[in-house]
Amino acid sequence: MTDKHWIATSIAGLILLLAILAACFVRTSDGTPVTTATQNTTSQRSESSDTYNVKRPVRETHTKDVTYTVMTPVREQRTRTISYTVMTVVREDRTKIDPITGDEITYTVARHVPEQREKTIQYVVKNMVPVQHQKTVEYQTVRFETTQVSR
């Protein structure tokens, strides 16, 4: 087989394949698919019965009331009194007498004394509160009607 003959055969096969695919996806002008016709099994056996079963899609629009819950944050201002301990430094001047010389020596002593304090603080809390909403939803369903059509 020559190269030109092989290329022509493959192009013809691709065109045939594209034609078959296009026929599968063809739709009518109103957007519904082309009705498919299947021959009745009885008509294959006897030639006297020439009826076909035709399936047509029927689109139906329905509405439904839906209730749903959304968690909404709510800010709340709060106050609280807290108590805490602070160590305070207390300095004290002390004197003592030197036993050898008898002189008076003055020195400073630092002590840490615990002190209880209170403080009022303010803060914000976010609480998630459920809120219910209601909405009407519209949806479509497709059902297929089968009718028998004679030739």
Q: Give one DSSP letter per residue of 100-133, joined into a string.
A: TT--EEEEEEEEEEEEEEEEEEEEEEEEEEEEEE
- Tell me what the pLDDT averaged over the chain comes to: 84
- Strand ranges of the sheet holding 104-150, from the earlier edge strand across to the other edge: 36-39, 51-97, 104-150
Which burial class, exposed, middle or buried, applies to 56 when counting CB atoms under 10 A from its CB (0-12, 13-18, 19+)? middle
pLDDT of residue 30: 55
Task: Give, as one character, the DSSP assignment of residue 27.
Answer: B
pLDDT band at 125 (very low <50, low <70, confident <90, very high): very high
- 86 versus 146: which is more confidently predicted? 86
pLDDT of residue 43: 45
pTM over 0.75: no
pLDDT of residue 3: 80
pLDDT of residue 86: 94
pLDDT of residue 56: 87
pLDDT in tens, 20-42: 888 777 655 555 555 554 544 44
Domain boundary assignment for the chain: 1-31, 35-150
Q: What is the percent of the chain where pLDDT is above 90?
A: 47
pLDDT band at 133 (very low <50, low <70, confident <90, very high): very high
Lowest mean pLDDT among 37-46, 53-62, 112-121, 127-136: 37-46
